[in-house]
């Protein structure tokens, strides 16, 4: 029997600015975090709504898919759950430790080797050094990067980045796993390993949100799918 929601979005709105520099929207977000004040709810010049009135809940053990075209708000939802950014309006609740894989190579230090990045990212995700030493052989084996694990990751391909990041994330003690397009990067063999690991997490009552453009894969994997377009949910 499923428990109470571990993730909840209640009428969540999120705006961004199209400006590349440190803009008013970002300044206001930082100000609101420090002071606890809400930022402006109307749009200024150059701003747009990345999310519009999004409400949903996810219970422990569920796998939920986020589906939609580029710019629909899928990755923004994952960033809000992992506290990379904050909502402009609305309320978000998250219960449990989160392992985010939301941007290719995010959290990786390019000048460190693969093994050094395992230690760095593993500790960030809650693993102790003792646990990491025990898990490293399994992490490396899963990634398939045995021959490159002592090479600086700046020399990795995009697929190698993903394989290492995914391997670290799924060996963490997290309760909630956020996967952004893991089904689209890497070869067929690694994608199959990703799906098998996601199914194992589900069997162990882990909670998963997965972003993909592959609607067929999401339907076969997920308990439910949230479809998005231009920041709004499609029902």
Looking at the DSSP bridge assignments, the partners of residue 89 are 13
Binning pLDDT at 50, 70 and 90, where does residue 190 land?
A: confident
Which two structure tokens, joined as six digits, stand for 10? 């209640």
Q: Tell me, what's the pLDDT at 1?
A: 46
DSSP letter at 62 equals: -
pLDDT tens per residue, range 26-65: 555 665 556 555 555 677 888 899 999 999 999 999 999 9
The alpha-carbon radius of gyration of the chain (Å, integer) is 18
Q: Tell me, what's the pLDDT at 40?
A: 58
Looking at the DSSP bridge assignments, the partners of residue 225 are 65
Of 233, 176, 179, 227, residue with least CA distance to 11: 233
pLDDT tens per residue, range 122-167: 998 888 999 999 999 999 999 999 999 999 999 998 888 888 999 9
């Amino acid at each position: 029997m499923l428990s109470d929601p571990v993730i909840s979005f209640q009428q969540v709105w999120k705006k961004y600015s199209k400006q590349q520099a440190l803009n008013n929207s970002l300044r206001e977000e930082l100000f609101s975090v420090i002071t606890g004040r809400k930022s402006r709810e109307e749009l200024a010049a150059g701003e747009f709504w990345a999310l519009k009135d999004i409400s949903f809940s996810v219970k422990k053990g569920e796998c939920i898919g986020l589906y939609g075209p580029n710019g629909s708000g899928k990755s923004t939802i994952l960033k809000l759950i992992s506290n990379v950014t904050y909502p402009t309006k609305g309320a978000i609740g998250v219960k449990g430790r989160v392992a985010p894989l939301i941007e290719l190579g995010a959290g990786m230090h390019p000048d460190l080797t693969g093994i050094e990045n395992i230690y760095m990212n593993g500790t960030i995700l809650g693993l102790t050094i003792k646990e990491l030493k025990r898990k490293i052989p399994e992490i490396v084996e899963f990634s398939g990067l045995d021959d490159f694990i002592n090479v600086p990751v700046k020399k990795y391909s995009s697929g190698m980045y993903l394989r290492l990041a995914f391997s670290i994330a799924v060996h963490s003690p997290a309760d909630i796993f956020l996967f952004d397009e893991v089904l689209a990067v890497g070869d067929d063999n690694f994608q199959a390993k990703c799906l098998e690991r996601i199914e194992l997490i589900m069997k162990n009552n882990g909670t998963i949100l997965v972003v993909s453009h592959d609607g067929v894969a999401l339907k076969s994997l997920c308990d439910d799918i949230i479809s998005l377009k231009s920041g709004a949910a499609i029902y």
